[in-house]
Structure 1
Amino acid sequence: MSVPSAAEQRLKLRTELRKARASAGLTQRQVAKVMEWSPSKLLRIESGEVSISVNDLRPLLTTYGISDRHQIEYLLDLARGSRKLPFAEYRDVFRSEFVQFLALEASASIGRYFNSLQLPRLLQTEEYARAIAVAYGSSTTLNGTEERMLEAQLARQDLLLSENCPELFFILDEVILHRQVGGRGVMRAQLQRLAELSKHPKVTLMVIPYTAGAHAGIQGPFTLFEFAGEEKPETLYIETAQGDTIESDKPEKTRRYLELFWQLEDLGIRDNIDVLTNRLIERMDEGVDDLAALLEAPPAA
């Protein structure tokens, strides 16, 4: 039996602590006062943003009236196992919410990604990712912080090589495949990478063609995670224009976005992605610029 990841154990612990406080009939403010904590500390613990030490957990369980030895040991074990989240070493460059996102991504059983402007991070080559980072910045070179963010992004892709790789579903808008991020050479290599990934046993790639017209996904990118354990709810992340993520595990919201993902799947082409990318590479090698070719073409008679 595999050992739960740090992210899974933190999720379990936060769920158990919320239940324990509710059973004790205490508010967050009341608990914070008894523990002599700031209210924000308990809020961050219950949201899973930060871990809780064993030394802090013992008196907290006493406050909640938990005295069963086996239950106490179970919760203490969860606290010990949740201390080291994946990508915790990047807390100096990412907000805690995004570090939590990375941890959940590593422990999910299913990941669903939709993007209409650029390739999802898990699919990007280093050169493509660097070109995106430069476009976001104010200089043609990345500073130290930006280099570390790029390093973390590439480290995420180790998930694709893992024996425990989750089922990953990616829906892309066709425009992503035509935008030559980083120039012709960079995009050519990126398309080759997509062709390779289309053969990955845990990866499903889908492309929504231009002919699909307007669709609900145009409102912006989002990611959905599902987990094997019942105590871990589906989690939704919506990416804002500023690159921040908004998290929600409310069933009514995650269900709505799951249904949206299924609708987008019905619009997408999922077969022969390698054929599609190879044809785009051929057009690129021939120097064909679709928009320029259209403008230069003689008008229809």
Structure 2
Amino acid sequence: MAVLAGRETPVASSEGPLLHRRRLGAELRRLRGDRTLEEVAEATLISTSKLSRLENGQGVPLPRDIRDLVTFYELDPPSADRLRRWASAGRSQAWWREYTDALPAGADTYVDYESGASTIRSFAAAVVPPLLQTEAYALELYKVLPAVKSDDSARRLLEVRARRQQLLVKSDDAPQLIFLLDEAVLRRPVGPPDAFREQLDHLQVVSRQRNVSLRVVPFASGPHPGMLGLFTILHYADDRDRDVVAAESHTGERFLEQPSNVLQYLRIFDAITRKALDHDESRALIADINSPKGMP
């Protein structure tokens, strides 16, 4: 057990089933090569629609399907074992599934993507990103978010947020976290003054963690291409995993996986980065805003 942002939480499990299904799908596409889905379906007695879903990381891989595919592709024992491991993990239930009823649309899918990322780049234009939020700050946001309909939903969302933070910020194999915050994030008071000061203090503490980079885009830098809202780019160390962009909206997360879309957002992120203060300047600005003269 460990304490993070005022709450004691258990360490969360690691990668979700979606990532393993995607890896399995990428490998099945590679193994099929120039063969058609119909050829593989005829030989394995697996329907073409199911094969297509498996190759796209959408289907639930059954043991007999993997057995028949291993036989058809004549895989050596290490390759066969790898497919079986991915298939088994793809059938598992992630810890966040018990919170699905409380999560906004698309949030469970986002947590699944997040769970296996090696680098997470996030830009925030209006509010502190969830991985950096204190409990008090998050509770104030839940009061105005239309997706949070009850106190019980808010409590369950706090549990998800705390477990995500524990896994991503405190674990030994935590990913690299790169945050760009527009100055508006630091200037907009959320909750009572003491709670907002606590949030700004927390940003200072987290910014010094070995795997965290936190930089502020000041008002003085003028307009930039991130002004339309919050987005996150999730990068994976395994070449089988396609990078993903998650763009947040009032109706839930929108996920972009096409390489051209990911590249476009990487360029946007780089353009915003060029407008940002360096790490020391960013901490100095946060401290200045959090001082008596800087608080509204």
TM bucket normalised to smaller: 0.7 to 0.9
Letter aligned with residue 149 of structure 1: L
Residue correspondence of structure 1 range 148-297 to structure 2 within 5 A:
148-158=156-166, 159-242=168-251, 244-272=252-280, 273-283=282-292, 289=296
Structure 1 counterpart of 2:121, which letter? Answer: R
Moved more, 173-182 or 14-23: 14-23
Q: Secondary structure at the match of 1:135?
A: coil
Provide the residue aligned with 2:36 in structure 1: 25
What is the aligned residue count? 276
* 1:135 maps to which of 134, 144, 153: 144
Deviation of 1:22 (Å):
5.7
TM score, norm. by length of structure 1? 0.80
Which of structures 1 and 2 has the bigger CA Rg? 1
What is the alpha-carbon root mean square deviation over aligned residues? Answer: 3.0
* CA–CA separation in structure 2 for the residues paired with 1:236 and 1:196: 27
2:74 aligns with one of 55, 67, 75: 67
Deviation at 1:174, TM superposition (A): 0.4
1:86–1:18 Cα change, 3 Å: farther
How much does 1:97 deviate? Answer: 4.7
Aligned-pair CA distance for 1:226: 1.3
Summarize the Cα distance change of 1:46–1:94 in structure 2 as closer, same or farther, 3 Å threshold.
Answer: farther
Is the CA contact (8 Å cut-off) linking 2:125 and 2:181 kept in structure 1? yes
Stretch deviating more after TM superposition (97-106 or 231-240) = 97-106
Task: Give the conservation status (yes or no) of the 8 Å contact 1:236–1:249.
Answer: yes
1:206: Cα distance to partner?
1.0
Structure 1 residues 163 and 288, CA, compared in 2 at 3 Å: closer, same or farther?
closer
Quick one: distance in 2 between partners of 1:161 and 1:281? 25
- Cα deviation, residue 256, structure 1: 1.1
| Structure with higher RCO (Cα < 8 A, 6+ apart) | 2
Residues 279, 18 of structure 1: alpha-carbon distance in 2 compared, 3 angstrom cutoff: same
Unaligned runs of 5+ in 2: 1-13
* Cα pair distance change 1:287/1:13, threshold 3 Å: closer
Distance 1:89 1:256 in 2: 35
Match in the other structure for 2:9: none
How much has 1:128 moved relative to structure 2? 0.5
CA contact 1:118–1:176 (8 Å) conserved in 2: yes
Take 2:52 and 2:127, find their aligned partners in 1: how far apart are those partners? 34
Instruction: Identify if the C-alpha distance between structure 1 residues 86 and 66 changes in structure 2 by more than 3 Å, giving closer, same or farther.
Output: farther
Match 2:115 to one of 103, 106, 120: 106
Superposed CA offset, 1:238-263 (max 9, x none): 11232x11212211111111111111
2:104–2:147 contact (8 Å) kept in structure 1:
no
Instruction: Summarize the Cα distance change of 1:42–1:270 in structure 2 as closer, same or farther, 3 Å threshold.
Output: farther
Q: Check whether the contact 2:213–2:279 (CA below 8 A) recurs between aligned residues.
A: no
The Cα of 1:58 is off from its aligned counterpart by 3.0
Percentage of identical aligned residues = 27
Distance 1:113 1:223 in 2: 4
Q: Which residue of the other structure, out of 9, 12, 23, is the alignment partner of 2:23? A: 12
